[in-house]
């Protein structure tokens, strides 16, 4: 089965072609037109600007994805598109294009939840692991992105139980805000983690909110405020001081994420721990979660997604769409609606 995936929920316009054969995905192409340079000028995404950029980019990106896959639209078995959550003005561009293509070419259409995409990124092969494991259920995935921090339990394909969510800021959002406090630019996550690499993660003891709470929710607003107060109290700043702040902040976030993920993995006796979302690109998180799984749950498999599929992309949308298509979860073109608040 060959699926064309389309993603436009925030500030990346993306298209990809993915195949699903006997439970395994392969990526024939994955194209992303990033708006990072545009939004860096305003220090964040301006929805109206993002939508305009999607309009200009979406058809060339789809054409490129098909060309890279050496396929024409006629050879595609189904079209999968992100229908939410995200910015409504951005989502609608992808959804409208997918609807039109589905109507004109009489191709089945699948609406995909963006978070499902981040979950199914783990099913995509990576450079280091060309053949992904076929994971056994139950599976626990930690989704950490710019808008979400969620622990999701899957007992079978396409079935999700959200065990915990953030009560305030998402993990990626606090990375972006701390980057702003330190004038590190947009997007903040990669900048903070790059500088953190030079710093001492034990230099400052920032709070680890809700690390011991007996639920699986998160809260990062208090940590963000602690970082702000710490910066405000400083008489002067150097690159080394900022690096210590980044490393200590990053360590606090990672400690909370790892502790809660391990606790949930134990409670629900999962066989695999997976990661998804932009913050899954964070090296400290990838490594420390891996070490914790190895130490505390030696029989549980841990395979972080390829870096290419952590931040927003369409291959992950096509992968989730492929499993939906296999289950015949299609929507008629004029019934598919973008939903900015769609939950799992
Ligand atoms: O999944 P994503 O591309 O978009 C959303 O669905 O939100 O995630 C973007 C988020 C941003 O907040 C960005 O700062 C963060 O992921 N991010 C990182 C890293 N790379 C991206 N956060 C920490 N460390 C990174 N290396
Ligand atoms: Zn995302």
Per-residue pLDDT at 37: 87
Quote the ligand 2 centre to 20 CA distance (angstroms). Answer: 22
pLDDT digits (tens, 9 = 90+) for 148-189: 999 999 999 999 999 999 999 999 999 999 999 999 988 899
Residues with CB under 5 A from ligand 2 (ion): 145, 312
pLDDT at 39: 85
The ligand minimizing its distance to the Cα of 193 is 1
The pairing of beta strand 12-21 with beta strand 2-7 = antiparallel
Out of 35, 172, 275, give the residue to mutate to test ligand 1, the one with the largest number of ligand atoms within 8 Å of its CB: 172
Residue 21 CA to ligand 2 center (angstroms) comes to 25
In this predicted structure, the answer to whether residue 129 has a pLDDT above a threshold of 80 is no
Instruction: Choose which residue among 311, 314, 342 to substitute to test ligand 1 binding: the one with the highest number of ligand atoms within 8 A of its C-beta.
Output: 311
pLDDT of res. 339: 98
What pLDDT, on the 0 to 100 scale, is given for residue 263?
Answer: 98
Specify the pLDDT at position 41: 85
Q: What pLDDT, in 10s, does the model give residues 54-98? A: 999 999 999 999 999 999 999 999 999 999 999 999 999 999 999
Cα separation, 71 vs 63, in Å, equals 10
Mean pLDDT, residues 9-17 taken together: 96
Mean pLDDT, residues 92-111: 98
- 312, 284 contact by CB (below 8 A): no
Share of the chain above pLDDT 70, in %: 100
Q: What is the mean pLDDT of residues 289-311?
A: 97
Q: What is the mean pLDDT of residues 309-337?
A: 97
Per-residue confidence (pLDDT) for residue 5, from 0 to 100: 98
Average the pLDDT over each of 106-120, 125-139, 226-240 and give the range with the smallest value.
125-139
Task: Reply yes or no on whether the pLDDT at 131 is more than 80.
Answer: no
| 146 CA closest ligand 1 atom index | 7
pLDDT of res. 330: 98
User: How far away, in angstroms, is 87 Cα from ligand 2 center?
Assistant: 11
In terms of DSSP bridges, do strands 301-302 and 272-276 run parallel, antiparallel, or are they unpaired? Answer: parallel
- Listing DSSP states for 197-266 in one string gives TTS-TTSS----TTTT-SSS-B--HHHHHHHHHHHHH-S---HHHHHHHHHHHHHHHHHHHHHHHHHHHH
pLDDT class for 284, splitting at 50, 70, 90? very high
Ligand 1 neighbours by CB, cut-off 6 Å: 10, 145-147, 172-173, 175-176, 187-190, 193, 277-279, 281-282, 311-312
Tokens of 67: 């060309």
Q: Do strands 24-34 and 12-21 pair parallel, antiparallel, or not at all (unpaired)?
A: antiparallel
Give the per-residue pLDDT at 36.
86
Please tell me the distance from the alpha carbon of residue 209 to that of residue 59, in angstroms, as a whole number.
44
Whole-structure pTM over 0.85, yes or no? yes
Question: Mean pLDDT, the chain, as a whole number?
Answer: 96
Distance of CA 278 from the midpoint of ligand 2 (Å): 6
Atom 8 in ligand 1: which residue has the minimum CA distance?
A: 278
Confidence at residue 154, expressed as pLDDT on a 0 to 100 scale: 98
């Amino acid at each position: 089965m060959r699926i064309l995936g389309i993603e436009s929920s925030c500030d990346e316009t993306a298209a990809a072609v993915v195949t699903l054969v006997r439970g395994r995905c392969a990526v024939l192409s994955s194209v992303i037109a990033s708006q990072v340079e545009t939004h860096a000028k305003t220090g964040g995404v301006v929805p109206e600007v993002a939508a305009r950029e999607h309009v200009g980019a979406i058809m060339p990106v789809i054409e490129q994805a098909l060309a890279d896959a050496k396929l024409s639209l006629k050879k595609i078995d189904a079209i999968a598109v992100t229908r939410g959550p995200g910015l409504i003005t951005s989502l609608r561009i992808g959804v409208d294009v997918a609807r039109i293509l589905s109507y004109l070419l009489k191709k089945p259409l699948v609406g995909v939840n963006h978070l499902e995409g981040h979950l199914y990124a783990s099913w995509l092969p990576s450079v280091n692991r060309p053949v992904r494991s076929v994971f056994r259920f139950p599976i626990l995935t930690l989704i950490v992105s710019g808008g979400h921090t969620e622990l999701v339990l899957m007992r079978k394909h396409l079935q999700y139980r959200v065990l915990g969510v953030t009560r305030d800021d998402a993990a990626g959002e606090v990375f972006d805000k701390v980057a702003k406090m330190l004038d590190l630019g947009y997007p903040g996550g990669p900048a903070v983690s790059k500088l953190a690499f030079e710093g001492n993660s034990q230099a400052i003891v920032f709070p680890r909110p809700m690390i011991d709470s007996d639920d699986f929710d998160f809260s990062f607003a208090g940590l963000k405020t602690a970082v702000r107060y710490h910066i405000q109290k400083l008489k002067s700043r150097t690159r080394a001081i900022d690096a210590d702040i980044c490393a200590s902040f990053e360590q606090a976030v990672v400690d909370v994420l790892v502790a809660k993920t391990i606790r949930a993995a134990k409670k629900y006796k999962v066989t695999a721990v997976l990661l998804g979302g932009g913050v899954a690109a964070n090296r400290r998180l990838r490594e420390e979660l891996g070490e914790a799984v190895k130490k505390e749950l030696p029989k549980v498999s841990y395979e972080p997604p390829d870096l290419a599929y952590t931040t927003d992309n369409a291959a992950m949308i096509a992968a989730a769409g492929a499993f939906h298509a296999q289950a015949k979860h299609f929507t008629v073109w004029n019934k598919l609606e973008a939903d900015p608040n769609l939950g799992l």
